[in-house]
Amino acid sequence: MLPVPKQFRRCRLLGAGLLVIFLLDGSSTSCLYAQDYPPDQAHGKAVYERYCQPCHGPTGQGDGPDAGSLKVPPANFQRFQSFLKSDEELLRTIEHGVVFSPMHSWRGQLTDGEMQDVVAYIRLLSQQER
Ligand code: HEC
């Protein structure tokens, strides 16, 4: 192996240090945060319109065309109760669903990235008309 010039060796050390800082950062420890790009609201919108809109409605008020036939009304994302929930809580609901409710788990149907994107889009909806 060729000897590595001194200045490059220091550079590598810096890289390793940054990696440690990144690994110690709490926000990157959950596997759902393994996504390496920021949530994409435009993509979230496409996912939402396809899978969620029939129940949650076009503006997230829980007034989609399928909502009338459900025993449990879909959550209204514009209500303060939903608005106050953290992204993490919404993500968990989407990932695991709600027991005894038409809101089933989306794990397996949506990728981690799609779930995060859809949360970003729900955030956008919940901030509208405020
Ligand atoms: C079959 C209808 C239906 C579909 C489709 C549906 N949901 Fe739901 N969703 C519900 C119902 C009903 C609830 C309320 C559950 C409860 O409170 O018991 C709910 C609740 C939620 C909540 C919890 C909100 C809160 O304030 O805690 C989130 C987040 C959510 N849905 C996201 C989604 C996303 C994202 C999709 C699409 C990937 C989706 N839902 C698709 C019916 C649906």
pLDDT at 29: 43
pLDDT at 2: 65
Ligand 1 atom having least distance to the Cα of 67:
2
pLDDT at 13: 57
Distance from the CA of 11 to the center of ligand 1, in angstroms?
48
Each domain of the chain, given as residue ranges in start order, spans 36-127
Residue from 94, 103, 107 whose mutation best tests the ligand 1 pocket (most atoms within 8 A of CB): 103
Domain 36-127: which CATH class? mainly alpha
pLDDT mean for each 10 residues of the chain (130 residues): 63 56 50 65 97 98 96 94 93 96 96 96 84
Residues with CB under 6 A from ligand 1: 51-52, 54-56, 66, 70, 72, 74-75, 81-82, 85, 90, 93-94, 98, 101-103, 106, 118
pLDDT at 89: 95
pLDDT at 30: 47
Q: Which residues of 93-119 are buried (b: 16+ CB within 10 A; e: fewer)?
A: bbeeeeeeeebeebeeebebbbbbbbb
pLDDT at 108: 95
pLDDT at 128: 77
What are the residues whose beta carbons fall under 8 Å from the beta carbon of 115, sequence distance 6 or more?
32, 91, 94, 95, 106
Hey, what are 128's tokens? 């509208």
Ligand 1 atom having least distance to the Cα of 118:
35
Residue from 43, 48, 53, 56 whose mutation best tests the ligand 1 pocket (most atoms within 8 A of CB): 56
